[in-house]
Structure 1
């Protein structure tokens, strides 16, 4: 049985053993990358353009299935599309971060549930996949420089019966968009 004292030292991007300062920096960098992914999800689900914009570098690109191009173009496309989405929830699951020279390769598994209007008809989607991102740190901030969305599961679901008021009942408040969702009152 190997104990932790006998384990080889952690090796950094350049192949050298990591100092405690390097290890703390890597932990901080990992948290900043996770925070960026979570801001992206809030931005999409709450229709919060500022949160969405904060996840990408201005010169970033996004290959998002239906949209392919600049991140700036994706944000504009999303802000036009999001009003057709009655409800949307993005959840992040497994996240692997590999630091490389110049940035980090990040694979984040997601589940997205969306109820939206398509061609005048309300539909519900259950989707899962991965954000395959190249992150760059500029100054002290990490953001997406390149994104590829890989879809591993897409299923149209039957709509539940009844109105939202009937389905949610006493389960209040119901989540909403920026600036009306309860989170914005909390964070100011």
Structure 2
């Protein structure tokens, strides 16, 4: 399979957008998380949310506010390019920690993002997302512990490195 430098660059750009999406969610940087979706992008998080990508961000923001911590990791990103269009499948693991009246819990979700992309003005944007949950579990925790440097806002240590 021959691949051009432009194709390598496009694939790297799509992976970067996926990483910024996760960072936006975990740092509660709403502008960063919204920026990955085209304005009228569709989002189908089966059984959780159906609507626009921007609408999903608004919905998930309220859900994430109720969490003590959350961490989204993307792996195994498969991308197929077709000019200024692309499709991708990305495996995602999400770990959410929440304090409930009955005690602390950790929710782990193993799922996939199936995305259609469009390159607009040199930037790759998601125009359609389907979120497929492959497995989910919940376990009780003794306590939720995190470092002071780990923040869900622009005071997080990473903002000293990235603007």
Question: Computing the radius of gyration over CA atoms, which structure comes out larger, 1 or 2?
Answer: 1
How high is the TM-score relative to the length of structure 2? Answer: 0.89
Check conservation: 1:96, 1:108, Cα contact below 8 A: yes
Alpha-carbon distance change, 58 to 117 in structure 1, aligned in 2, over 3 angstroms: farther
Corresponding residue number in structure 2 for 1:67: 49
The CA deviation string for residues 36-65 of structure 1, in whole angstroms up to 9 with x for no partner, is 000110011111101101111111111123
Check conservation: 2:98, 2:104, Cα contact below 8 A: yes
Corresponding residue number in structure 1 for 2:18: 37
Corresponding residue number in structure 2 for 1:27: 8
- The structure carrying a bigger strand percent of its residues is 2
Alpha-carbon distance change, 112 to 162 in structure 1, aligned in 2, over 3 angstroms: closer
Corresponding residue number in structure 2 for 1:116: 98
Alpha-carbon distance change, 134 to 120 in structure 1, aligned in 2, over 3 angstroms: farther
Gaps of at least 5 residues in structure 1 are: 1-8, 11-17
- 2:21 and 2:57 mapped to 1: Cα distance? 11
How high is the TM-score relative to the length of structure 1? Answer: 0.78
Q: Which has the higher contact order (CA 8 A, sep 6+)?
A: 2
Corresponding residue number in structure 2 for 1:80: 62
Corresponding residue number in structure 2 for 1:175: 150
Partner secondary structure for residue 187 of structure 1: coil
- 1:26 and 1:44 mapped to 2: Cα distance? 28
4+ residue runs over 4 A deviation: 117-122
Write the mapping of 1:113-152 to structure 2, written as runs, cut at 5 A.
113-116=95-98, 122-152=104-134
Check conservation: 1:110, 1:128, Cα contact below 8 A: yes
| Number of residues of Structure 1 aligned to a counterpart in Structure 2 | 162
- 2:53 and 2:98 mapped to 1: Cα distance? 22
Check conservation: 2:75, 2:90, Cα contact below 8 A: yes
RMSD over aligned CA atoms reads 2.1
Check conservation: 1:178, 1:184, Cα contact below 8 A: no
